[in-house]
Chain A
Amino acid sequence: MSSATHPPVTQYDLKLALPLAGLFALFFIAPLVLLIIVSFYTDTSMTRFGLDQYARFLLDPFSLGVLGSTLWLGVKVTALCFILGFPLAWIYVRAPRWAQGILMLVVVLPLLTSVVVRTFSWIVILGRQGIINNTLLGLGLIDAPLRLLYTEGGVVWALAQVQMPLMVLPLITALSRIEPNLEDASAALGAGAWRTFFRVTLPLSLPGIIAGCLLTFAASITAFITQSLVGGGRMLFMPMYLYQQSSTLNNWPFAAAISVIFLIAVLGAVTLFNFLGRLARGTAEA
């Protein structure tokens, strides 16, 4: 058998992707197209086309405020996940093998429980008679229970815990790929621990950071369950806004327009992250 008659083994026939492509076309692209069409109707009974729904959203400071606060929520959760997740990933990579098994279980454990269960446990923790308030009251640090549930701070903490694996797993992958000798070399050349961290470890782990941030950001701004259970009925983020318009008010065109605008905003954020990622790879390789 000569290799000339066979295609190289690393090249697969694109036709193999057809079933998946078909599935995507049927269940993802088609509904998306429908959604976009619906968003261009001007009235709830869907008879006339126009840009009214987009104008209604984009010219309204309140709606823009909801979009802004949703994206800002994502930034806060992502930052918190990064600050808490990076040391965890760092410890994991340097831990002995047996400890790695335990740490991995701890990291992955949240993924094995339903998000509803995890969110409910946060209600128990943050409530008026929750663990935090009872502890603080018991220690005499506060006189009356603090309002933790139904506050934006509560939502940020709960989301950070719920989405943590999405940040830590890519970080672990990136950190464990870094050649340990590079850090030794940096130390041998006279750099201190912090300098080594900022000049060697951090730049080399940037692809993992970008991937982690991207996943955490996208997951936390769309997390309808956690946002509504911990945030309550007063805190309005895009998923709840969308739900309210479609489900309570049956205003599908406006709901569809909200979805499309949200989708574009998220795509924008993803593109920005990717761009940063490419920049970072440039710096890391330079």
Chain B
Amino acid sequence: MLNRRQMLTTTLALGAMHLFPGISMGQARRLVFATFTGSWEEAHRDVLVPAFRKATNNAEMALDPMLSVDQIAKVTAARANPPIDVMLHDPGPALVAIGQDLAAPYPVAQSAHYKDLISDAQDPMGPAPFFQVVGITYNPEKVKTPPTSWADIWKPEFKGRVGITNLNSTLGTGFLVEIARMKGGSEANVDAGFKAIEDLKPNLGAVAANPGQLATLYQQGQVDIGPGNFNAIQILKARGVPVEFVAPKEGAIAFKTTIHIVKNSPNPELAFKLIEASLSPEVQSKLMDSPYLIVPTNTKVKMGGEIAKVLAKDHDEMKKKFVFQDWKKINEQRSGWIEKFNRDIKI
């Protein structure tokens, strides 16, 4: 018979194992994929996870959606036994993760799909299964002539109606770099971009705290034109908000969303299979369709639907119409720019 004390010990031990799963280490853990929150999670739950399970004879896996910075923090805190197997990152955080030695190299030689990716998506430290594309968003009810160039945002008729984000987001930083390039600057020198934002002040109706907030501002009529993320705008449009997306003639800004095997992951094979699934033409073409509208990177995927209409008919056109930025260079100075933006851009 158990006495009360033994019972208590057992209960406490069970409780502790539940609280700190690390205690029961050695035991196999299911694959954990830290995707992004929101529409990303939905898309991955509905398309990527079923494809992975099909490819692995129903292996267990969990989605644990979180921001890039949280992924980095969690893996940094337990490098030897990371709680995540696969990370998803925007270009800035991806370089941080690789720089801090958190990502394992992708087994390129074993991959069936890696060679089919467009060259910008190939990275041996973590390939890009998707692109995020930033172009001009506008409200067609208020803006009668569709904009064609980033320069249109500076037109006096948009006084108080332009929305941007600050540099905390990839979107905001990418926009700054792009307008700097338009004015003769580069990733290494964005002074011209700051000057342009200074000139944009009379037009600025809002500087949103993040891209999600920026998107909702169109819904509320707070702003009518500005840089916007293709996916976010399509989601709004599907909900009946009057918004349109155009790729400016200077080229739409494309960001790689890269996927990485976490270094020291206890499930490297399954992690590899999940990433393979995300690179496969089957998953990518499904994710290209409505309502996900995620831009594919695999050249075997035939572009269709809204993406073919608004962005590019095929991957050759995409290469011509997309602008890729050098985030290695951007990361070197980004903190300085954020500081400058904090100090100098007063509205």
Asked whether any CB of chain B lies closer than 8 Å to the CB of A271, the reply is: no
Asked whether any CB of chain B lies closer than 8 Å to the CB of A147, the reply is: yes
| Distance between Cα atoms of A130 and B219 in the complex (Å) | 11
- In A222-239, which residues have CB < 8 Å from any B CB? 228-229, 231-234, 236
Stretch from A4-12, A14-22, A121-129 contacting the other chain: A121-129
CB distance from A203 to the nearest CB of B (A): 43
Asked whether any CB of chain B lies closer than 8 Å to the CB of A100, the reply is: no
Q: Which of A144, A149, A229 contacts B222 (CB 8 A)?
A: A149
Q: Which of B96, B208, B213, B216 contacts A250 (CB 8 A)?
A: B96
Q: Which residues of A contact B166 (CB under 8 A)?
A: 233-234
Q: Provide the B326-341 mask, 1 if CB < 8 A to any CB of A, else 0.
A: 0000000011001000
Q: Which of A127, A129, A232 contacts B209 (CB 8 A)?
A: A232
Are A233 and B221 touching (Cβ within 8 A)? Answer: no
Question: Do A232 and B220 contact each other (CB < 8 Å), given the known contacts A248-B338, A249-B338, A250-B72?
Answer: no
Are B160 and A147 touching (Cβ within 8 A)? Answer: yes
Q: Which of B96, B208, B216, B221 contacts A129 (CB 8 A)?
A: B221
Asked whether any CB of chain B lies closer than 8 Å to the CB of A262, the reply is: no
Are B205 and A128 touching (Cβ within 8 A)? Answer: yes
Interface centre among A128, A231, A251 (most CB of B within 10 A): A128
Are B207 and A250 touching (Cβ within 8 A)? Answer: no
Q: Which of A233, A248, A249 contacts B208 (CB 8 A)?
A: A233
CB distance from B8 to the nearest CB of A (A): 14
A-B CB contacts (within 8 Å), total count: 74
Are B205 and A233 touching (Cβ within 8 A)? Answer: no
Are A150 and B206 touching (Cβ within 8 A)? Answer: yes
Number of interface residues of B (CB under 8 A): 31
Q: Provide the B132-153 mask, 1 if CB < 8 A to any CB of A, else 0.
A: 0000000000000000000000
Q: Which of B67, B207, B213, B222 contacts A234 (CB 8 A)?
A: B207
Are A124 and B220 touching (Cβ within 8 A)? Answer: yes
Asked whether any CB of chain B lies closer than 8 Å to the CB of A247, the reply is: yes
Asked whether any CB of chain B lies closer than 8 Å to the CB of A244, the reply is: yes
Residue of A nearest to B347 (CB): A234
Q: Which residues of B contact A247 (CB under 8 A)?
A: 67, 69, 168
Q: Which residues of B contact A251 (CB under 8 A)?
A: 335
Asked whether any CB of chain B lies closer than 8 Å to the CB of A62, the reply is: yes
Are B206 and A249 touching (Cβ within 8 A)? Answer: no
Residue of A nearest to B345 (CB): A234
Are B338 and A244 touching (Cβ within 8 A)? Answer: yes
Asked whether any CB of chain A lies closer than 8 Å to the CB of B343, the reply is: yes
Q: Which residues of A contact B207 (CB under 8 A)?
A: 150, 232-234
| Distance between Cα atoms of A45 and B347 in the complex (Å) | 34
Q: Which of B72, B208, B334, B335 contacts A232 (CB 8 A)?
A: B208
Residue of A nearest to B167 (CB): A248
Q: Which residues of A contact B67 (CB under 8 A)?
A: 247
Q: Which residues of B contact A128 (CB under 8 A)?
A: 205, 220-222
Q: Which residues of A contact B96 (CB under 8 A)?
A: 250
Asked whether any CB of chain B lies closer than 8 Å to the CB of A81, the reply is: no
Asked whether any CB of chain B lies closer than 8 Å to the CB of A274, the reply is: no
Q: Which residues of B contact A232 (CB under 8 A)?
A: 206-209, 213
Question: Do A229 and B209 contact each other (CB < 8 Å), given the known contacts A130-B220, A247-B168, A250-B69?
Answer: yes
Q: Provide the A228-268 mask, 1 if CB < 8 A to any CB of B, else 0.
A: 11011110100011011011111100000000000000000
Residue of B nearest to A225 (CB): B209
Are A228 and B209 touching (Cβ within 8 A)? Answer: yes
Are B222 and A127 touching (Cβ within 8 A)? Answer: yes
Question: Do A246 and B69 contact each other (CB < 8 Å), given the known contacts A233-B209, A234-B207?
Answer: yes
Asked whether any CB of chain A lies closer than 8 Å to the CB of B165, the reply is: yes
Interface centre among B72, B205, B216, B220 (most CB of A within 10 A): B220
Asked whether any CB of chain A lies closer than 8 Å to the CB of B210, the reply is: yes
| Distance between Cα atoms of A231 and B209 in the complex (Å) | 8
Asked whether any CB of chain A lies closer than 8 Å to the CB of B342, the reply is: yes
| Distance between Cα atoms of A169 and B208 in the complex (Å) | 34
Q: Which residues of B contact A248 (CB under 8 A)?
A: 69, 167-169, 334, 338
Q: Which residues of A contact B100 (CB under 8 A)?
A: 45
Question: Do A229 and B338 contact each other (CB < 8 Å), given the known contacts A128-B220, A147-B160, A149-B206?
Answer: no
| Distance between Cα atoms of A229 and B208 in the complex (Å) | 8
| Distance between Cα atoms of A84 and B100 in the complex (Å) | 52
Can you add 12 more A-B contacts, CB < 8 Å, to A128-B221, A233-B168?
A: A123-B220, A147-B160, A149-B206, A150-B347, A228-B213, A231-B209, A232-B206, A232-B208, A233-B213, A234-B207, A234-B347, A236-B342
Seen from chain A, the residues whose Cβ lies within 8 Å of a Cβ on chain B are: 45, 62, 123-124, 127-130, 144, 147, 149-150, 228-229, 231-234, 236, 240-241, 243-244, 246-251
Q: Can you report 17 A-B residue pairs in the complex whose CB atoms are below 8 A from each other?
A: A62-B343, A127-B220, A128-B205, A128-B220, A130-B220, A150-B347, A228-B213, A232-B209, A232-B213, A233-B168, A233-B207, A233-B208, A234-B166, A234-B207, A234-B347, A236-B342, A250-B72
- Nearest 10 A/B pairs, CB to CB: A233-B166, A129-B221, A234-B207, A233-B209, A228-B209, A233-B207, A248-B168, A247-B69, A127-B220, A249-B335
